[in-house]
Amino acid sequence: MIAIAAVDRNWGIGLKGKLLVQIPADQRFFRETTTGQVVVMGRKTLESFPGGKPLRDRVNIVLTRGGSSLPEGVEEARSIEELKGFLARYEDKEIYCIGGAEIYRQLLPMCDECYITKIDESYEADTFFPDLDADPEWELVRDGSEEEEQTYFDLIYHFLKYRRRS
């Protein structure tokens, strides 16, 4: 499984159910990377999408304790064990964990890689991705791309890849 997220300097990912900032190149990277694959998310993440509808051209799986109905086109997993059963059917696809914070915390132990868009800015945030720089289980993949500075107006950001140490 691969986690994918955009984070600020403090590993913040959201405030009041919304992303901290929307960067078109990051959104394009997310769309191109996950299209045709499997995305796993929490209920609140699904509800944050336009119209609360699943992402097109992807298998959408929501990990939730239940209690609310999900739209058509979404598979519901009520436990990590049930999720593993769903994922076994998609061995031919990449599996992406796309949030939110609680889902990242629960599924990070199942991830081997993380695609992180690191924004060189600090925002007010109430949800966070685990700090991979402070976690000895993770290492930044140094292939030169981490040095390629990206800009969007006055924002500076980098597309980073982390890998679980073996």
* CA–CA gap between residue 12 and residue 63 (Å, rounded): 21
Band (143; pLDDT cuts 50, 70, 90): confident
d(CA 75, CA 95): 14
* Confidence grade of residue 65 (pLDDT, cut at 50, 70, 90): confident
Evaluate if residue 9 carries a pLDDT over 90: yes
Q: Could you tell me if 20 and 133 are in contact, meaning their C-beta atoms sit under 8 angstroms apart?
A: no
Chain centroid offset of residue 87 CA? 16
Give residue 7's pLDDT band: very low, low, confident or very high (50, 70, 90). Answer: very high
* Cα(136)–Cα(72) distance, integer angstroms: 40
Indicate the residue type of 163.
R
Domain extents in the chain = 2-164
Q: State the Cα–Cα distance between residues 82 and 35, nearest whole angstrom.
A: 23
Lowest mean pLDDT among 65-69, 78-82, 120-124: 65-69
Residue 147 confidence (pLDDT): 73
pLDDT score of 148: 86
Q: Of 60-69, 70-79, 90-99, where does mean pLDDT reach its minimum? A: 60-69
Q: Does residue 78 register a pLDDT over 90? A: yes
> Percent of the chain beyond pLDDT 70?
98
Strand order in the sheet with 127-128: 18-19, 12-15, 127-128
CATH number of 2-164: 3.40.430.10
Q: Mean per-residue pLDDT for 30-49?
A: 96
pTM of the model: 0.94
H or E segment to which residue 104 belongs: helix 101-107
Residue 107 has pLDDT above 90, yes or no: yes
pLDDT of 76 above 90: yes
Query: Residue 141 has which token pair?
Result: 């993949």
